[in-house]
Amino acid sequence: MNSAFRSAIPDLSLAAIGQLSGNSRLGFANRNPALHRGIEWSKSTLALGLLEWSGKTASGPAVAANNGSWLQNAWNYLKKVPVNLNVIVPVLGIAGPAVTITYLPQTNNLCVAPGVGASIGRNVGAGPLVLGNLANAKSITEGPSISVGAQALPIAGAQATGNQSGILGGPTVGIPGGSVTATYGICF
């Protein structure tokens, strides 16, 4: 460093102290004289459940797993989540009979829920149920339930269906508008 810019303030860091400058641990005692003790499991790693990979070291260059394209991964995921279809036939202005049909791939159930509904513009909507307690999907789609949906564009909408057992939701495609239904589901 140029002496014209040298600070008049002394360097008081631990590394500047003569006795500690050779110690990489800056004064902390270590019973093991080895330079490196190896990889140890930390409590935070165990708490996060990262035991599988946290202590492993790479012996060569990192290579990404070849699990297929993002489109294939998305399709594989969507084949495992419930799919919902909502139809309202507005015979009384904006209200009329409605039916919600839900396929549950995890349990291989088809649930049919007839009822009544109202819609403004939107009388058909369908999409996957990807939000909520998916493990409880059969209980949520069976029995009485309320469903709501909103569709901004034919390919951009949202849906939710629920009862006392929980709520499921997800994106939809359909006719732009909004809808609400009250149905009673039976699963086969």
pLDDT value, residue 75: 86
What is the average per-residue pLDDT within 45-59?
Answer: 48
Query: 144-157, pLDDT tens digit by residue?
Result: 999 999 999 999 99
Q: Considering only 4-8, 167-171, 172-176, which range has the smallest mean pLDDT?
A: 4-8
What does the domain layout of the chain look like in residue ranges? 80-187
Q: Tell me which of 24 and 126 has the higher pLDDT.
A: 126
The label of the residue with tokens 């599988």 reads 52
pLDDT value, residue 113: 97
Q: Residue 118 is inside which H or E element, if any?
A: strand 109-120
User: Would you say residue 76 has pLDDT above 60?
Assistant: yes
What is the average per-residue pLDDT within 31-44?
Answer: 51
Is 120 within 8 Å of 175 (Cβ atoms)? no
Q: Is CATH 2.40.128 the right assignment for the domain spanning 80-187?
A: yes
C-alpha 39/C-alpha 31 separation (Å) is 17
For the chain, give the mean pLDDT. Answer: 79
Q: Tell me which of 81 and 49 has the higher pLDDT.
A: 81
Q: Tell me which of 140 and 17 has the higher pLDDT.
A: 140
pLDDT value, residue 67: 61
pLDDT value, residue 77: 86
C-alpha 98/C-alpha 109 separation (Å) is 20
Query: 107-127, pLDDT tens digit by residue?
Result: 999 999 999 999 998 789 999
What is the average per-residue pLDDT within 91-116?
Answer: 95
pTM over 0.75: no
Report in angstroms the alpha-carbon separations of 113 from 47, 81, 175, 182, 185.
Answer: 43, 18, 20, 9, 4
pLDDT value, residue 157: 95
